[in-house]
């Protein structure tokens, strides 16, 4: 091909490759409910039964492309009997579909990952006999996913208020247009954050909800915060005393910590947890126990920190130490310390 520059040919070829742009729209709420319902159905049903469910969804979509194509009602039409576990999960799909659509922007890959995490946390709480509202758990997980710094702040609020922070209820009410007489500065800042407004309006409301148990299962990133470096100077000195090898300095620091305001006490405790997760000595683990014994609102955070420590790294004396500090009738640490026994058994 005389007269044609080889470079021009190459450029034209590459332009043809990248000429077509395909935009995949985000899923709408009915599509999210259908997608989540089908994922649940696949989890609970045999391959044959799931094929029937999927065929029904495809048929429904042809008749109504914008509507919900699979839910409990449709499943009940196809199956002779809907398994109780699937029935409960289909009700959950209906409940959390609006949250997932708004919070995760209708991205199928993120939805599937989110749902897997939600189910794992629900199962973990059930094993401990803790009944969590999955809609509340989902709302917290969305905050953790999209607004991590706000999630960490909510953690501090709830820990300082025994699980029921006033700030979150105030922020939700303001975001919905309610007029309030007395509002904290933090709540107003949340309500005025335009990026946070859609999350604040999501149901259910967290006002008057005890968030303490939820932060045991929705706090994946709480202890990766670098809290220590952001502590004010006096609190850094107090932290050093708490983690000191000197028993006298440690006892003095514990006494000082008991006199802190709730927010400062939570910050110091979180920083101590970070340090102890990295270096879980017998003394440091006892210090955490004594801090939490003085403020029961810190116990869920302590359990969360202990869960991050491998069983082989926890000193064998620690379970007995915690029984001595909290009393033999307190079983909140039994599950987390079972891994210590398992580690000993595997090495025997």
In angstroms, rounded to a whole number, what is the distance separating the alpha carbons of residues 192 and 189?
A: 5
pLDDT confidence of residue 348: 45
Residue 6, Cβ neighbours under 10 Å: how many?
A: 8
- Residue 163 class from Cβ within 10 Å (0-12 exposed, 13-18 middle, 19+ buried)? middle
In angstroms, rounded to a whole number, what is the distance separating the alpha carbons of residues 46 and 48?
A: 5
In angstroms, rounded to a whole number, what is the distance separating the alpha carbons of residues 151 and 221?
A: 9
Q: Take residue 28 and report the two structure tokens written for it.
A: 């709408």
pLDDT digits (tens, 9 = 90+) for 218-229: 555 555 444 555
pLDDT confidence of residue 230: 60
Q: How many CA atoms lie within 13 A of 214 on its CB side?
A: 25
pLDDT confidence of residue 1: 47
pLDDT confidence of residue 238: 87
pLDDT at 4 over 80: no
Does the N-terminal peptide bond of residue 80 adopt cis geometry, omega within 30 degrees of 0? Answer: no
The 3-state secondary structure of 174-191, one letter per residue: HHCCCCCCCCCHHHHHHH
| Alpha-carbon dihedral 127, 119, 133, 98, rounded to 10 degrees | 180
pLDDT digits (tens, 9 = 90+) for 124-140: 888 878 888 888 988 89
Q: Take residue 228 and report the two structure tokens written for it.
A: 């220590």
Query: In the block, which residue shows the tokens 């109780």?
Result: 84
Computed over every residue of the chain, the mean pLDDT equals 83
Q: What CA–CA distances, in Å, run from 79 to 50, 57, 60, 67, 87?
A: 10, 13, 16, 21, 12
Q: Take residue 123 and report the two structure tokens written for it.
A: 């199962």
DSSP category for residue 192? T
Q: Is 74 helix (H, G, I), strand (E, B) or coil?
A: helix
Q: Which of 162, 164, 160, 186 shows the shortest CA–CA distance to 174?
A: 186
Would you say the pTM of this structure is higher than 0.75? no
In angstroms, rounded to a whole number, what is the distance separating the alpha carbons of residues 302 and 291?
A: 9
Q: Report, as an integer, the average pLDDT of 316-326.
A: 94
Q: Report, as an integer, the average pLDDT of 200-224.
A: 77
pLDDT digits (tens, 9 = 90+) for 94-105: 888 887 887 777
Q: Is 280 left (phi over 0), alpha (psi -120 to 50) or beta?
A: beta
Residue 310 — φ and ψ, nearest 5°?
-60, 145
DSSP category for residue 298? G
Q: Take residue 52 and report the two structure tokens written for it.
A: 């029937």
In angstroms, rounded to a whole number, what is the distance separating the alpha carbons of residues 211 and 163?
A: 5
- Min mean pLDDT across 283-292, 299-308, 321-330 is at 299-308
pLDDT digits (tens, 9 = 90+) for 254-277: 999 989 888 788 888 888 888 888
Q: Which of 278, 268, 274 shows the shortest CA–CA distance to 241?
A: 268
Residue 175 — φ and ψ, nearest 5°?
-65, -25
């Amino acid at each position: 091909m005389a007269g044609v520059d080889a470079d021009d040919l190459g450029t034209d070829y590459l332009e043809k490759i990248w000429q077509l742009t395909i935009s995949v729209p985000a899923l709408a709420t009915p599509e999210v409910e259908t997608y989540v319902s089908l994922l649940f159905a696949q989890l609970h049903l045999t391959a044959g039964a799931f094929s029937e469910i999927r065929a029904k969804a495809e048929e429904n979509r042809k008749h109504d492309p914008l509507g919900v194509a699979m839910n409990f009602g449709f499943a009940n039409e196809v199956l002779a009997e809907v398994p109780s576990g699937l029935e409960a999960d289909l009700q959950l799909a209906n409940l959390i579909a609006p949250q997932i659509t708004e919070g995760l922007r209708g991205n199928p890959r993120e939805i599937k990952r989110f749902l897997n995490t939600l189910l794992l946390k629900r199962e973990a709480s059930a094993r401990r006999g803790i009944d969590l509202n999955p809609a509340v758990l989902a709302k917290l997980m969305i905050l953790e996913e999209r607004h991590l710094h706000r999630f960490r702040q909510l953690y501090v609020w709830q820990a300082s208020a025994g699980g029921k922070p006033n700030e979150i209820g105030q922020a939700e009410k303001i975001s919905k247009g309610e007029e309030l007489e007395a509002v904290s500065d933090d709540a107003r800042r949340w309500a005025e954050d335009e990026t946070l407004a859609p999350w604040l309006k999501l149901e259910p409301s967290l006002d008057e909800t005890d968030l303490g148990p939820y932060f045991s299962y929705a706090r994946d990133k709480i202890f990766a915060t670098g809290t220590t470096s952001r502590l004010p100077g006096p609190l850094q000195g107090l932290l050093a005393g708490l983690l000191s090898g000197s028993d006298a300095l440690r006892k003095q620091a514990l006494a000082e910590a008991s006199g802190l305001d709730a927010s400062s006490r939570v910050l110091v405790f979180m920083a101590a947890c970070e340090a102890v997760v990295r270096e879980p000595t017998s003394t440091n683990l006892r210090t955490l126990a004594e801090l939490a014994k003085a403020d029961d609102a810190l116990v869920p955070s302590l359990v969360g920190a202990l869960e991050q420590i491998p069983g082989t790294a926890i000193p064998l004396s620690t379970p007995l130490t915690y029984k001595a500090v909290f009393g033999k009738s307190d079983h909140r640490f039994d599950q987390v310390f079972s891994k210590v026994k398992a580690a000993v058994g595997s090495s025997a």
